[in-house]
Structure 1
Amino acid sequence: MVKKWWNEKVAYQIYPKSFYDTNGDGIGDLRGVIEKLDYLKDLGVDIIWLSPCYRSPLADQGYDISDYYDIDPRFGTMADMDELIAEAKKRDMYILMDLVVNHCSDEHEWFKKACEDPDGKYGNFFYLRDKKEGELPTNWRSYFGGPVWEDLPGTNKQYLHVFHKKQPDLNWENPEVREEVYKNINWWLDKGLGGFRIDAIINIKKALPMHDYEPDREDGLCSIRKMLKEAKGIGDFLGEMRDRTFKKYDAFSVGEVFDEKDEEIPDFIGDNGYFSSMFDFEETIWGASDKGWYDCKQITPDAYKKCCFTTQRKIGDIGFVSNIIENHDEPRGVSRYIPEGDCCDASKKMLGGLNFMLRGLPFIYQGQELGMENVKFESIDQVDDISSLDEYKVALEAGCTPEEALKAVSRFSRDNARTPMQWTDGENAGFTTGKPWLKVNANYTKINAESQMNDPESVRSFYKKLIALRKDPEYKETVVYGELEPVWEDVHNLMAYYRKGDKTLLVVGNYQKEPQTIELAGECKKVLINNYDNVAMDGNKIELQGYQFLVIEM
Structure 2
Amino acid sequence: MSRKNWWKEAVVYQIYPKSFQDSNDDGIGDLQGIIQRLDYIKELGADVIWLNPIYQSPQVDNGYDISDYQSVNPDFGSLEDFKELLEETHRRKMKLILDMVLNHTSDEHIWFQESRKSKENPYRDFYIWRPARNGKEPNNWGNYFYEGEGSAWEWDEHTQEYYLHNYSKKMPDLNWNCQKMREQIYQMLRWWCDMGVDGFRLDAVNRLQKPAGFPDSHRPPAPPIGIHGYVVDREMCANQPGIHELLKKLNQEVFGRYDIMTVGETGNLKSDIALDYVGEESKEINMVFHFEIAKNPYLVTVPEFKEIQKRWAKVVEDGGWITQYLTNHDSPRQISRFGNDKEYRLESGKMLAMLMHTLPGTIYVYQGEEIGMVNVDFPSIEYYDEKYTVGKYHTMVEAGEDPVKALDSLKMMSRDNVRTPMQWNDSENAGFSKTKPWLAVNPNYKQINVEKDMSDKESVYYTYKTLIAMRKRHPVMVYGSYTPVMEEQENIVAYIRQYEEESWFMIFNFQEKSQKIKIPERLRNEKMNLLMSNYNKNDQEIMKPYEGRIYMLN
Shorter chain as denominator, the TM-score bin is: over 0.9
Q: 3-state SS of the aligned residue for 1:374?
A: coil
Moved more, 154-163 or 299-308: 299-308
Distance 1:237 1:325, change over 3 A: same
The letter for the 2-side match of 1:460 is Y
Inter-partner Cα distance in structure 1 for 2:255 and 2:407:
43
Distance 1:280 1:352, change over 3 A: farther
Inter-partner Cα distance in structure 2 for 1:481 and 1:211:
44
Deviations 1:23-82 (A, max 9, x none): 000000000111111000000101101000000000000000000010011000111110
Q: Quote the residue 1:293 is aligned against.
A: none
Inter-partner Cα distance in structure 2 for 1:470 and 1:230:
33
Moved more, 1-10 or 178-187: 1-10
Contact 1:300 1:339 in 2 (8 A): no
Q: Quote the residue 1:232 is aligned against.
A: 241
Counterparts of 1:2-17 in structure 2, within 5 Å, are 2-17=3-18
Q: Quote the residue 1:382 is aligned against.
A: 383
Moved more, 111-120 or 220-229: 220-229
Q: CA deviation at 1:398?
A: 5.2
Inter-partner Cα distance in structure 2 for 1:155 and 1:381:
37
Q: Quote the residue 1:448 is aligned against.
A: 449
Deviations 1:340-388 (A, max 9, x none): 7554201111112112210110000010111111101100111111111
Structure 1 residue 244 and structure 2 residue 253: aligned?
yes
Deviations 1:481-503 (A, max 9, x none): 00011111121111111111121
Q: CA deviation at 1:312?
A: 1.9
Contact 2:201 2:262 in 1 (8 A): yes
Distance 1:215 1:553, change over 3 A: closer
Q: Quote the residue 1:517 is aligned against.
A: 516
Inter-partner Cα distance in structure 2 for 1:9 and 1:126:
36
Structure 1 residue 536 and structure 2 residue 539: aligned?
yes
Distance 1:430 1:149, change over 3 A: same
The letter for the 1-side match of 2:162 is Q
Structure 1 residue 497 and structure 2 residue 495: aligned?
yes
Q: Quote the residue 2:180 is aligned against.
A: 176
Contact 2:207 2:239 in 1 (8 A): no
Contact 1:299 1:336 in 2 (8 A): no
Q: CA deviation at 1:243?
A: 1.0
Aligned with residue 197 of structure 1, among 169, 192, 201: 201
Unaligned runs of 5+ residues in structure 1 are 288-296
- Percent identity at matched positions? 40
Moved more, 356-365 or 309-318: 309-318
Inter-partner Cα distance in structure 1 for 2:127 and 2:286:
28
Counterparts of 1:326-337 in structure 2, within 5 Å, are 326-337=327-338
Give the TM-score normalised by structure 1.
0.94
Contact 2:316 2:322 in 1 (8 A): yes
Moved more, 126-135 or 444-453: 126-135
Structure 1 residue 164 and structure 2 residue 168: aligned?
yes
Q: Quote the residue 2:411 is aligned against.
A: 410
Q: CA deviation at 1:322?
A: 1.0
Contact 1:213 1:226 in 2 (8 A): no
Counterparts of 1:281-300 in structure 2, within 5 Å, are 281-287=291-297, 297=298, 299-300=300-301
Q: Quote the residue 1:84 is aligned against.
A: 85
Inter-partner Cα distance in structure 1 for 2:468 and 2:219:
47
Inter-partner Cα distance in structure 2 for 1:340 and 1:467:
23
Structure 1 residue 152 and structure 2 residue 153: aligned?
no
Structure 1 residue 220 and structure 2 residue 223: aligned?
no
Distance 1:102 1:436, change over 3 A: same
Q: 3-state SS of the aligned residue for 1:486?
A: strand
Give the TM-score normalised by structure 2.
0.94
The letter for the 2-side match of 1:325 is L
Counterparts of 1:342-361 in structure 2, within 5 Å, are 343-361=344-362
Inter-partner Cα distance in structure 2 for 1:208 and 1:286:
28
Q: 3-state SS of the aligned residue for 1:412?
A: coil
Deviations 1:120-170 (A, max 9, x none): 211110011224674111110111121111122533121110111111111
Moved more, 332-341 or 266-275: 332-341
Contact 1:282 1:311 in 2 (8 A): no
Q: 3-state SS of the aligned residue for 1:165?
A: coil
Q: CA deviation at 1:286?
A: 3.5
Q: Quote the residue 2:278 is aligned against.
A: 269
Q: Quote the residue 2:463 is aligned against.
A: 462
Inter-partner Cα distance in structure 1 for 2:494 and 2:24:
46
Inter-partner Cα distance in structure 1 for 2:233 and 2:121:
28
Unaligned runs of 5+ residues in structure 2 are 222-226
Structure 1 residue 550 and structure 2 residue 549: aligned?
yes
Q: CA deviation at 1:208?
A: 1.4
